[in-house]
Amino acid sequence: MKQLAIGVIISVILVYFSLRGIDYQGLIRGLQGIAPGYAAAALAIMILMQAVRSVRWGVILSPIHKVGQFDLFAVTNVGFLAIASLPARLGEFARPLLIAKKAPIKMSSALATIFIERIFDSLTIFLIFAITMLMTPLPSWLIRSSAIFLLLTLAILSFMVFMLFRRELCLRLLAPLINRLPGRYAVLADRLLHQFIDGFGMMAKPRLLAQTAALSVFFWLIDAFAIYMMFKAFHLTLPFIAAFVVLVILMIGIAIPAGPGFVGNWHFFCILGLTLYGVPKTEALSFAIVYHFLSIGVVIILGLLFLPANRFSLADLKNMARKPD
């Protein structure tokens, strides 16, 4: 409840700043002036993105077990429904929980694959950002924020690689902490740590690394193209590079653990990205509302479609967060 309350407070604050100074009649006109063809194209790309996500996750999971594509697509959609619906990123545990029910995969190992996925997402976005910096001037605060996130990502990646390739040394270093636990809990912690490291197996396979990297680049390129289609839907004459800038700023924004559905942080940071290109705040909010509605709508509809065959409870997720196996 405390995490939910903090998330809701953050969302309310960001909604307030998003709405401050808005011309509401202009907002309505902006919503009414959408070009439906371009909005439909953006919607189709968002559905494609969910498919690409599931294919990439299958590649990451493949050293542990090859999961059927239908199951991957179903679990991916239900998992992202959980992420959008639950506070404090608790929904991130839904996919490991569900895939462990469908395949002989330990939840600890499946959880490790989510870390890999997030690392590839972060590194791809930073690559896009670095290219963008060469092509357009960007504010110093965005460069500093991105640098901080990059350093954090590289630190996590380095530790993951260390755990995978220097497993015994890692276990020896962690042994004093594990041995402080009561006997059966120490045994459990050691087993979970082994299973977690097993989930990093694809990082030792160059072919799978290349496939995952290629799928990551493709995923974020089509995500930027969806944003560009939204520019067209709102008659914004912005270059394609602006879609990358909005994408990077938005990804930084939704990393903030706000309320369910990214309400507030999605809108505030989307406005922030568009106003860098001189888009009036009212028009930027119209864009943010529709873009958020379509993006979350795809997640909700696809998630609900597959939910009956992939049920989970909040208690399941809380138990997994405490003991991921």
Indicate the residue type of 33: G
Residues near 273 by Cβ (< 8 Å), separated by ≥ 6? 242, 245, 246, 247, 248, 249, 250
Residues 291, 31: contact at Cβ < 8 Å?
A: no
- Global pTM reads 0.89
- Residue 193, domain member (yes or no): yes
Crossing angle between the packed helical segments 281-306 and 24-32, to the nearest 10 degrees: 60
Q: Which pair of structure tokens corresponds to residue 261?
A: 């559905």
Q: How many residues does the chain have?
A: 325
In a domain, 27, yes or no: no
Task: For the chain, give the percent of residues with pLDDT over 90.
Answer: 65
- In this structure, the number of other CB atoms found within 10 A of the CB of residue 209 comes to 16
- Does pLDDT of 235 surpass 80? yes
How far from 189 is each of 126, 220, 232, CA to CA, in Å? Answer: 34, 36, 52
Q: 12: Cβ–Cβ under 8 A, 6 or more apart, which residues?
A: 259, 264
Q: Is a pLDDT exceeding 90 seen at residue 62? A: yes
- Where in the sequence is the domain holding 91, given as residue range(s)? 2-16+32-322
The answer to the question of residue 228 being in a domain is: yes
Residue 26 lies in a domain: no
Q: Which of 106, 77, 270 lies closest to 199, judged by CA?
A: 106
Does residue 11 fall inside a structural domain? yes
Give the DSSP letter of residue 204.
Answer: G
Q: Which residues, in sequence order, are CB contacts of 239 under 8 Å at separation 6+?
A: 136
Gap between the Cα atoms of 168 and 161, Å rounded: 13
Span 78-132, pLDDT tens digits: 999 988 887 656 778 889 999 998 899 998 999 999 999 999 999 999 998 888 8
Q: Let me know if residue 24 belongs to a domain.
A: no
Q: Note whether residue 110 is domain-resident.
A: yes
303 vs 183 pLDDT, higher one: 303
Cα dihedral sign, 240-244-247-253: negative
pLDDT, tens only, 2-35 = 666 777 888 889 999 999 999 999 999 989 999 9
308 assigned to some structural domain: yes
- What's the structural domain count of the chain? 1
For the record, the structure tokens of 43 come out as 């919607």
